[in-house]
Amino acid sequence: MSYDNYSKLGVEIKDGVATVTLQSGERFNGINWEIHQELGTIFPDLERDDNVNVIVLTGAGGTFCAGANLHWLKGQLKSPPAAMKARKEGRAIILGMVDCPKPIIARVNGDAVGLGATLALFADIIVAVDTATISDPHVNIGLVAGDGGALIWPLLIGYARAKEFLLTGNKVPAVEAARIGLINYAVPKEELNQTVERFASKLAGGASMAIQMTKTVTNIPLRQAVESVLETSLAYESLTLRSDDVCEGVDAFLNRRMPEFRGR
C-alpha cells in the first residue's frame, strides 16, 4: 500500500510497525488544514494495510505537536464552510483512532498541546520524554476543547483533575502526567526510542488477532463515550469559534498580549 499521497505525515513501515511522523512544516508541528485532513484518513488506511500490526505516532524534530496553527484557526473564523470541514475532519480523526483495531503508541518527543495532546491521549500506550508537557489550553483563546480533549481527559484522570486542567489550560509535566495516569510513562530522552521500540516490537510480534480484538473490546465504552459526547463538544467548539472572545483570544496570542475577554 502506498502512502505517497501524504505530504504532512511521514509514513515508514518496518517489521510490522508503521511510524507516522507529524511534519506539518509549521512551527512546533502546528496543525494546519493539510495535516488535519491527512490525520482524518491515515488511521483507516493503516487499518487496511496487511503489512502493519502496530502504529507509532510521533512528531518531527523536538516537538510532538503544538496544536492548531492560529493562522489556520483565524481562517475558520472568516469561513463557515472551512469551519464545517474542520469539524467533520475532527470527528474523523477521533473515530479513526478509536475504531482502528491496531495498537497505537504515542511517542511524545516534546510538548503536546491542544489537538496535539488529544492525539497523544487517544493512543493506546503513551510514552513521553520526561521534559515534555501535556496541555489543552483551548479556553485561553476563548474556545471549548471540543476536538476530543473534553472527552478523553476525564476518562483518563477523572473529572476533578480533568476540569482543573481543561478550565485553566495549565500544563501537566510528563512525570506528573504519568503519576496521575494521564500517560503511561515519562522517560529520559535517551530512553525514549528504546522504550517505544520495546512495546512496538512486542505488539508487532504478538498474536495480532487477539491483540486487535482485545483493543476493540476494551474500546467499546470509549466508543460509546465518543458517540455520546464528541458531537456535542464539536458543536460547542463551533459556537465559541463564532464568538467575540475567540477573535480577541487569537488576536491577543498572535500579537503577544493579554486578552480582554467579555464573555460573548
Residue-wise pLDDT for 221-253, tens only, equals 999 999 999 999 999 998 898 898 988 988 888
Instruction: Please report which confidence band the pLDDT of residue 220 belongs to, taking 50, 70 and 90 as the band edges.
Output: very high
**Is residue 167 in a domain?**
yes
pLDDT surpassing 90 at residue 73: no
Least confident of 143-147, 159-163, 179-183: 143-147
Amino acid, res. 37: Q
Q: Looking at residue 110, what is its pLDDT?
A: 97
**Is residue 48 in a domain?**
yes
CATH number, domain containing residue 81: 3.90.226.10
Least confident of 145-149, 172-176, 237-241: 237-241
**Is residue 202 in a domain?**
no
DSSP for 90-151, written as a single string: HHHHHHHHHH--S-EEEEE-S-EETHHHHHHHTSSEEEEETT-EEE--GGGGT---TTTHHH
Percent of the chain with pLDDT over 90: 81
**Is residue 178 in a domain?**
yes
Model pTM? 0.95
**Is residue 31 in a domain?**
yes
**Is residue 197 in a domain?**
no
Cβ-proximal residues to 3 (8 Å cutoff; 6+ apart), any chain:
9, 11, 45
* Domain around 135: 1-189+208-264
Q: What would the grid cell of residue 127 be?
A: 510514552
Instruction: Please report which confidence band the pLDDT of residue 79 belongs to, taking 50, 70 and 90 as the band edges.
Output: confident
**Is residue 201 in a domain?**
no
* pLDDT, tens only, 192-204: 999 999 999 999 9
Please tell me the total count of domains within the chain. Answer: 1
Instruction: Please report which confidence band the pLDDT of residue 80 belongs to, taking 50, 70 and 90 as the band edges.
Output: confident
Are 112 and 60 in contact by the 8 Å Cβ rule? The answer is no
Instruction: Please report which confidence band the pLDDT of residue 64 belongs to, taking 50, 70 and 90 as the band edges.
Output: very high
**Is residue 105 in a domain?**
yes
Cβ-proximal residues to 66 (8 Å cutoff; 6+ apart), any chain:
26, 27, 28, 29, 30, 111, 113, 114, 116
pLDDT surpassing 90 at residue 256: no
Q: Which of 76, 79, 101, 78 is nearest to 90 (CA)?
A: 76
- Mean pLDDT, the chain, integer: 95
What value does the mean pLDDT take over residues 158-175? Answer: 98
Q: Looking at residue 55, what is its pLDDT?
A: 99
13/71: higher pLDDT: 13
